[in-house]
Structure formats: C-alpha cells, structure tokens
Amino acid sequence: MTEPNHSLDPQDWSNLRAEGHRMLDDMLDYIEKIRERPVWQTIPDEIRSGFRQNLPQQPSDLAQIHQRFMQEVLPYAVGNSHPGFMGWVQGGGTPVGMLAEMLAAGLNANLGGRDQMPIEVEKQVTQWMRELFQFPESASGLFVTGTSIANFIAVLVARTKALGLASRRQGLAASPHKLVAYTSAGAHACVSQAIDMAGIGIDALRLISVDAKFAMNLDELEQRIAADRAAGYTPFLIAGTAGTVDVGAIDDLDALADIAQRHQLWFHIDGAYGALAMLSTSIAPRLKGIERADSIAFDFHKWAQVQYDAGYILVRDGQAHFDTFATPTSYLKRETRGIAAGERWPCDFGPDLSRGFRALKAWFTIQVYGAEQLGQMIAHTCELAQYLKARVEQEPQLELLAPVNLNIVCFRYRPLADAHIELSLDDLNRDIVFALHESGIAAPSTTSVNGVLAIRAALVNHRTTRLDIDRMIDATLRFGDQLLAF
Ligand SMILES: *Cc1c(COP(=O)(O)O)cnc(C)c1O
C-alpha cells in the first residue's frame, strides 16, 4: 500500500516553478514601472467586499490566486514605493531587498537561537552597527519589527538597570522608587506607549517643551529633573530624538549625553529614521553625541530602504540587555555541540522567541549598495528638501511652517490677501491633501505645527526626484486655486 501524500509541496514542480517565475517578473515589472502608476487610488467597494469571504475549504489554483493579488491587492497599496509618496516617514524598498526577502522565505529560518549561519548574518549586521555608531564590542543588537518595539525594549533595559534584577521577579509595585523619564514634546507617541507598556505609567513621562528649532529645551529638562528629585521621584531615563517625525528636528544629543551623565540617567535615542543618516558623511556631524547613547532605536525600513519590517535596537551594555530578557528554561537549554550549541541566543535579548530572518535583507542591502552609496542617497533626500523649501518660498501662495532640518518640509497653501475664503485655512489645506491623494499625483501627509495644519512632505524615497517635487507643488497650487474658486 502506498502512503497517502499529505505534503503541501506540489505534485508538479514544473508548473509551480513557471508560476513562480511569472510572479518574480510581475514584481520586477511593478518596481521598474512604478512611475507609470498613480501613487495611491481609492479601493473600489466591490474589491474590498471580495475580501470578506468565508474560510475556503477547497484548494484553488495558484495562478488564479496570483492574478487576484495582481488585480485586487497590488494596485491598492499605500504607494510608499512610488517616488511621489511623501507621507509620514516610509521607505521605498529596493529590488535587492525584495530578492533577499524571497531567499529568506525559501530558507524559512527561525532566528530565535541555535547554531546556524543566519544568526551569524544578524551578528555581522550588529558588528556593522557598532562600527557605525562607535559602540564597544560588548554592545548588543537585535532586529525587531520597528522602532516602536525597539524603544520599548530600551525602556525595559533601562528600567531593569535602574531598579535592579530583583525587579524582574517583584515587579514595579515592590519598588519604593517612583520612576520618571524625560523626552521632548516632539517625540513620537510610541515613546509614551513604551513607558505605558513597561508598567511605569504615561504620566511618568515628562514632556519637555521644544525651542525654535523644535529640539528639547535643555534648561527646562535640567529644572524638571531637579524638581522631580526634590519631590521624591527617581529619574531614570532621557529619550532624545534624532529626527522627529513631525519636522525632522534633532535634539542636542551631545548636551543630552552630558545631562544624562551628570544625573546618572539612561540615555536612549529614538533615531527611527534619523540615526542611519550616520551613513552620510555630510549629515553625520549633526548627530554628534549619538555615539554616547546607552541605546539607540532605529529602522532599516525607513531611510535605508530595506523592505518592511526591519527595526533595530542597539544597546551599549550588552550584559544589561541580556539580563533584562534572559529566561532559563529546560527546552531552550544550551549545549556545547550540535544544533543547540551557543551561549547567548537572540531570544535572550527581547520578548520574541520565534523570529524571522530580517537580517538577510538588511545584509544584502548594505552589501550590494555599500554604506557610501546609501549615505549619498540619504543626503540627496535632504537636498531635495532644500529644493522643495526653495520652491515653497518662491510661491506667494505657499508658506513655510517649520525650519527644514533634514528631509521634512512643512508648509501650507495660503490664499493671496484679497481672496475671499469660506473654509478655514486648516480645512482648505486638508482638502488639498485629500485631492492630492485621490489624484494619484503625490502623497504628502499632514501634521500640526504650532497649532496649525501643515502639509508635510517627508522625502524618504530614493526614487524621488526634483520632477516629483515640481509635480507635487504644481498640483498643490492647482487644487488650492480650484478649491478657492468654489
Ligand atoms: C517611524 C518612527 C517611529 C516608529 O517606528 P516604527 O518602525 O513605525 O515602529 C518612532 N519614532 C520616530 C521618530 C519615527 O519616525
């Protein structure tokens, strides 16, 4: 009697292989010809409702499902691969990163631990990051989903360092210390979320006001630390930002490092998108002080263009990082030989046990393009921001709303003095952004700067050129004029 075949591998490999090659070609075509597409388009109702079906009991043809993806999913993505995408802070991805993802998926490695080369690839990237940020050999690093989780890990390490290892058993409630932390009012919301998830409570995060350049006010920070100490609190963490999400401001990292040192606080940097500007020789000097941080959280999936998701946490004191998460268990016992060999595994440095091979796409990207080219690409997006700033300043109907620190430009449309407008300026600019999105021409986002709504263009995508900036500005003026004419 022959054994029934329950494997999910195909009966006919040649068919699957041919379909696989078509998929690869489809995606290479997609990236090569992305300019010919709209940045984004509204999802038709019938397509959305087609994705509310019951659990399929029977198999479907791979080619047919592939076609569904091509027609019903691919055209309705957010568009961050497109050169006209300037919303939020999102990377554009590269064909090299895409191919690396395919290789990683084929290997299907689990990077929680054990003796395998994929972990050596991740360690290689960690070594590069230590070099880039001038961290010591004893520093540890870990790929995670994104900076939100990387910031969370940093808060946990800082908390455990401040309260001692016993706090892992006893919890915060057993501690007489009332922990408090500091960040700027311009910090990303995930910093306060990290404080929340760590059980410290959002109120314990002191939001320090920002100066004219949107960097943390240092005098206020020092005063707040002193006042908190006097009131019986235990300051434990300063979280600086290298590239705020609203306007791209960089805190004075060197000064923050001094303050942290003087008060013996953990100095963390949220460098989600800005930290990798260290790759650019022209921008790196502006991040001075980053090499003094206790921990840095950042994303390869933003400015470095690595495919989603690829966040990263680098911790100077690798032992403190290990001590925060290491959890001895019999089924994860380390051996001296065989597959279970190795002393410290990635699962000892974060809450994830099963982990995908994120490191491979970062390793491929850095190897294939080289640090220098990546740095030049990053610097170029900052040059484009200066070009956009100049265009805004040239147009009487446009107004710049924040200094252009890096690659983010905040501006708004403002009717000429004699124009009569029914809408508030905020509503008018919001409508302009809706029109831009729905036209498929360009996709900036909005934010609030000093209480007014700003059109916010974050130039992150390596495919963006001056032509894309011109198209965005021309369309902004056109839609602004049209909306006024109503
Ligand atoms: C994007 C961003 C985050 C969040 O990072 P994720 O990778 O989306 O989790 C945090 N801080 C800043 C400054 C960011 O730009």
**Going by DSSP bridges, is the β-strand pair 311-315/295-299 parallel, antiparallel, or unpaired?**
antiparallel
Mean per-residue pLDDT over the chain, rounded? 96
Is residue 356 within 8 Å of residue 144, measured between CB atoms? no
- Establish if 150 belongs to a structural domain: yes
Could you give the CA distance from residue 474 to residue 456 in angstroms, rounded to a whole number? 15
Taking the mean position of all CA atoms in its chain, how far away is CA 464? 19
Domain identity same for 182 and 280: yes
Atom of ligand 1 nearest to the CA of 271: 13
Question: What's the pLDDT tens digit per position in 447-481?
Answer: 999 999 999 999 999 999 999 999 999 999 999 99
Alpha carbon distances (Å) from 415 to 59, 259, 423: 58, 45, 11
Cα 333 to Cα 111, 149, 355, distances in angstroms:
16, 26, 18
Q: Are 415 and 484 in contact, with CB atoms under 8 Å apart?
A: yes
Side chain identity, residue 95: P
Question: Which has the closest alpha carbon to 408: 453, 366, 454?
Answer: 454
The position carrying tokens 């791979």 is 62
Give residue 212 CA to ligand 1 midpoint distance, Å: 23
| Model pLDDT, residue 485 | 84
Average pLDDT rounded to a whole number, residues 203-211: 98
pLDDT-derived band at 29 (thresholds 50, 70, 90) equals very high
Is 231 a member of any domain?
A: yes
Around ligand 1, the residues with Cβ closer than 6 Å are: 89, 146-148, 188, 190, 241, 243-245, 270, 272-273, 299, 311
Q: pLDDT tens, 171-196?
A: 998 999 999 999 999 999 999 999 99
> Taking the model in full, what pTM does it have?
0.97
Residue 105 resides in a domain: no
Domain end position, chosen among 333, 356, 379: 356
Residue 99 lies in a domain: no
Q: Count Cα atoms within 13 angstroms, Cβ side, for 374.
A: 28
- Residues 334 and 412 occupy one common structural domain: no
Of 443 and 342, more confident: 443
- On whether residue 259 sits in a domain, the answer given is yes
Alpha carbon distances (Å) from 258 to 14, 166, 218, 270, 313? 63, 29, 11, 17, 22
The CATH number linked to 336 is: 3.40.640.10
**Residues 380 and 350 grouped into a single domain:** no
Mean pLDDT, range 98-109, rounded to an integer? 98
Domain coverage including residue 273: 110-356
What average pLDDT does the segment 372-389 reach?
A: 98
pLDDT tens track for 128-154: 999 999 999 999 999 999 999 999 999
Over residues 281-312, the pLDDT tens digits come to 999 999 999 999 999 999 999 999 999 999 99
CATH number of the domain to which 443 belongs: 3.90.1150.170
The pick from 145, 147, 300 for probing ligand 1's pocket by mutation, whose C-beta has the most ligand atoms within 8 angstroms, reads: 147
Q: Radius of gyration over alpha carbons of the chain, in Å?
A: 25
In this structure, are 348 and 374 located in the same domain?
no
Residue 419: pLDDT above 80?
no
Average pLDDT over residues 198-225: 97
At 2, the pLDDT band (50, 70, 90 cuts) reads confident
Neighbours of 321 (CB within 10 A): 30
- Which parts of 284-357 fold into alpha helices (H)? 318-325
